[in-house]
Amino acid sequence: MTKSSKRELATKAAYNKKPSVQKKRVANNKARREALREGRVKKGDGKDVHHVKPLDKGGSTKKSNTKVVSKKTNRGWRKKNPEMYTRKKK
């Protein structure tokens, strides 16, 4: 594993301090805890709790908006849908 530079670590720390990023992280953690409690996922099972309607687009952490999928599926969908996360030109 490569080491991060001091500048890169400082950039990541500043990003993670943003209130919007913290709010999203809290929501993701809440959805994961609820799925753990219900027995839909287990620690170390290689699964993610996926939000059907993304939190960025107004989705919630309710059970009806979440489903359990593999890490590869959940973290690789942006490659298939780049238009969702690209900035629109003015």
What does the pLDDT read at residue 73? Answer: 86
What separation in angstroms does the CA of 78 have from each of 75, 82, 84, 87? 7, 5, 8, 14
Q: CB of 26 within 8 A of CB of 18?
A: no
pLDDT number for residue 67: 93
- With 0-12 CB in 10 A as exposed, 13-18 as middle and 19+ as buried, what is 69? middle
Look at residue 90 in the predicted model and tell me its pLDDT. Answer: 59
Neighbouring C-alpha atoms within 13 Å toward the C-beta of 65: 14
pTM check: above 0.85? no
Digit-coded pLDDT (tens) for 56-90: 888 888 889 999 999 888 888 777 777 776 766 65
Model confidence over 16-63: pLDDT tens digits? 999 999 998 999 999 999 999 999 999 999 999 989 998 888 888 888
Please name the amino acid found at residue 73: T
pLDDT of residue 87: 67
C-alpha dihedral over 51, 21, 45, 49, to 10 degrees? -10
Q: How many helices (H) and strands (E) does the chain have?
A: 3, 2
Helix (H) or strand (E) holding 49: strand 47-51
